[in-house]
Amino acid sequence: MGRGDRFNPSIFFGIIIATVFLTSCGGGGDDNPTSVTTGTVTVDVSPDGIGANWTLRQEGAIIAQGPEDKTVTGAEAGIYVITWERKDGWAAPDPLTVTKTLTRQGQITFSGVFEVANAVIVIDTEPDDIDAPWHLDMPAGLETSGTGDTELTLMAAGEYTLTWGSVEGYWSPEPDEVDATLDQEETHTFTGTYVKHPGTIVIEPVPTGLAAPWSLYTPGGVIIEGSGAQTLVAPAVGDYLITWLPVGGYAAPPKESLNLVQDGTLTFTGYYISTSLEGFVLVPDGTFMMGSPVGEAGRQPDEIQHQVTLTRSFFLQEREVTNAEFVAELQWALDQGLIAATSSTAHLDDPGDPGVELVDLDDPYSRISYGGGSFTTDRPDWPVVVATWFGAAAYCNWVSEKSGLPPAYAYQANGNWLCNGGDVYGARGYRLPTEAEWEYACRAGSATAFANGPITPFEVTECHADPVLAVIGWYCDNAGVAPHDVGTLQANAWGFHDMHGNAREWCHDWYGNYPSVPVQDPDGPYYNQVRVIRGGYFGSFHMDCRSARRFELTRPDQGDYEAGFRLALSAY
């Protein structure tokens, strides 16, 4: 510094300050240069000292583990995940896994609060002996399952949901899912009462697979509607009524009522019959005058005219059963072990009624033979004759069984084979027509002696030619000495052949006197010695071929060369 220069203190101190500033900003450095990119992670377990384990991860790598509290410093920024482990006697934090994000120079804390698990859950199922299944959803996503009565201890406070399982034969508790909130030291009981089903209802339309609609009336007045085959849990014991509804192309079954007892099973079987049943005519229900009017030529004392009402439609075979048809069923029954046969007879092989003759093969009018285990016939299209009434009834049962229908006749050793327990019109299988059904179908709406016109008057009882009868029936004047192929003469107005001649026909009824007052659905007396036979045969005088003519020719266990039969089926 020269003599002329002056010292300037403000400049001097400015230089010193600038030097210090520059040194602090750029020259000295820091002991922890990464502190600006890291943070702190704290794990806090409560209550202290319970020994609850946990694991802390960052990007899948384990950073720290417990059970004690811990603070991790210098933790890199990123995503951290802690998992709390369960500890007996304590309720773990909910949720068990928690995720948090650590920022630069940030701090995050994972707090895990464990609570004393001292609640009690009691599961009480009634009745005790059914081991009803149950499922329990618990706090923190826990769940458990079991059966029957159970007590669960050391349970955490919180929300619980119990679901009752199903037990066969019982209704589950209502509701089947129950919620409860438990506090510490609380005891809660879930009670589930199972109610035993009263029974089972089985509904079976026939043919199988037919989606027939129905209505089921229950004891409590509730109507259950459905279709097709179903198995239902009965809501109560008592009387049930089913109504079968129409299906196109079928005749619907009648209503049916059954009584259900505890633990019972009711089976409603609805037999739908095709309205186009091959070989049969559907006869509508209706009212007609049965018997003959006073003054009709050939009238007999047992033909008292009276009004009859048939309340149910029915099917009746267009033609009489042929030898070929009877042989086919005899062979089937023999192969099934239902009958036994010799060259002279075929008879039942049934423990309930053994030895009952079905057809007399020795009769010269029989065109059926047996030998070598087989039945044969040389006149397949003639009407079968000398079949007993029992043989005709057995034939009905065989056809029913092969058609999937219940047999109509029950074999009884006393010879009084009941049809459907005595309710012939309600029978669901094939049967013989009642005498009233037979005459109703024979008349086909007519009121004359023959279905197609009046009888030719006569004075002497002998074989007389009758031009009206000759068109519609085989009898003494046009038949010769033997039957003819069925269905060869003209049918009556409803489509039935040979009702006025060819073979007489067994009816269902026992023979009895007519009433003199109107009747509904008559089926003859309960019991007698002989069954009714109706119609003319190939050797009849014309007077004996009239619609009203009745015969009591023989017992039901004896065949007759004059008598055959045709099948009927209630159409409901």
Q: What's the number of domains the chain is made of?
A: 4
Q: Is 309 domain-assigned?
A: no
Whether pLDDT at 141 is above 90: no
Closest CA to 359 of 302, 313, 398: 398
pLDDT category of residue 23 using cuts at 50, 70 and 90:
very low
Pairing of strands 78-84, 54-58: antiparallel
Tell whether 530 and 396 lie within a shared domain.
yes
Q: What would the mean pLDDT of 492-511 be, rounded to a whole number?
A: 98
Amino acid at 42: T
Same-domain pairing of 241 and 329:
no
414 and 551 inside one domain: yes
Quickly tell me which residue has 């009849």 as its tokens.
540
pLDDT for 16 beyond 70: no
Q: How far apart are CA 64 and CA 58, in angstroms?
A: 9
pLDDT of residue 275: 87
Least confident of 77-81, 106-110, 137-141, 556-560: 137-141
Using pLDDT thresholds of 50, 70 and 90, give the confidence band for residue 251: confident
What long-range pairs does 147-155 form, CB within 8 A, spacing at least 24? 149/123, 149/124, 149/125, 150/122, 150/123, 151/120, 151/121, 151/122, 151/123, 152/120, 152/121, 152/122, 152/123, 153/120, 154/88, 154/89, 154/117, 154/118, 155/117, 155/118, 155/119, 155/120, 155/121, 155/182
Domain that holds residue 203: 199-274
CATH number at residue 543: 3.90.1580.10
Residue 3 confidence (pLDDT): 40
Closest CA to 286 of 254, 308, 317, 316: 308
What does the pLDDT look like over 145-179, one tens digit per residue?
Answer: 999 999 998 888 889 999 999 999 999 999 999 99
206 and 190 in one domain? no
Residue 83: inside a domain, yes or no? yes
Q: What are the C-alpha distances in Å from 41 to residues 52, 85, 276? A: 18, 19, 89
Domain boundary among 138, 169, 196: 196
pLDDT tens string 525-562: 999 999 999 999 999 999 999 999 999 989 999 999 99
360 pLDDT more than 90? yes
Predicted pLDDT at 52: 92
The CATH number linked to 263 is 2.60.40.10
Q: What confidence tier does 351 reach under pLDDT thresholds 50, 70, 90?
A: low
Average of per-residue pLDDT across 315-324: 99
| pLDDT score at 22 | 39
- 167, 196, 225 — which closes off a domain? 196
pLDDT score, position 546? 98
Residue 338 sits in the same domain as residue 462? yes
Is residue 270 domain-resident?
Answer: yes
Query: What is the arithmetic mean of pLDDT over 245-268?
Result: 94
Give one DSSP letter per residue of 199-245, joined into a string: EEEEEEEESTT---EEEEE-TTS-EEEEESSEEEE-SSSEEEEEEEP
Assigned domain for 162 exists:
yes
How far apart CA 262 and CA 271 sit, in angstroms, is 27
Residue 456 lies in a domain: yes
Quote the CA–CA distance of 566 and 281 in Å, as a whole number: 12
Do 453 and 552 share a domain, yes or no?
Answer: yes
Q: Are residues 94 and 75 in the same domain?
A: yes
Using the 3D structure, point to which of 196, 231, 248 is the last residue of a domain: 196
**Chain segment 451-463, per-residue pLDDT in tens:** 999 999 998 889 9
460/553 same-domain check:
yes
Alpha-carbon span 566 to 505, nearest angstrom: 7
Average pLDDT over residues 382-411: 96
CA distances from 191 to 73, 122, 130, 178, 199 (A): 53, 8, 14, 10, 25
Please state, in angstroms and as integers, the Cα–Cα distance from residue 557 to each residue in 356, 380, 390, 394, following that order. Answer: 7, 24, 6, 12
Is residue 396 assigned to a domain? Answer: yes
pLDDT value at 18 more than 70: no
For range 276-292, the mean pLDDT: 96
Range from 113-117, 364-368, 487-491 carrying the lowest mean pLDDT: 113-117
> What is the band of 35 on the pLDDT scale with cuts at 50, 70, 90?
low
* Whether residues 335 and 361 fall in one domain: yes
Please name the helix (run of DSSP H) or strand (run of DSSP E) that holds residue 391, with its range, or none: helix 389-402
Using CA atoms, how far residue 97 sits from 55, 94, 103, 116, 487, in Å, is 10, 8, 20, 19, 91
Average pLDDT over residues 520-529: 95
More confidently predicted of 33 and 520: 520
Residues 432 and 360 reside in one and the same domain: yes
* pLDDT attached to residue 354: 62
Residue 6 placed within a domain: no
**C-alpha to C-alpha distance for 314 and 277, rounded to whole angstroms:** 11
Q: Is the predicted pLDDT of residue 11 greater than 90, yes or no?
A: no
Q: Taking residues 510-522, what's their average pLDDT?
A: 97
**Domain membership flag for residue 20:** no
Residues 238 and 181 in one domain: no
Q: Which of 194, 66, 201, 44 is nearest to 125 (CA)?
A: 194
Give the pLDDT band of residue 36 (cuts 50, 70, 90). low
Same domain, 480 and 527: yes
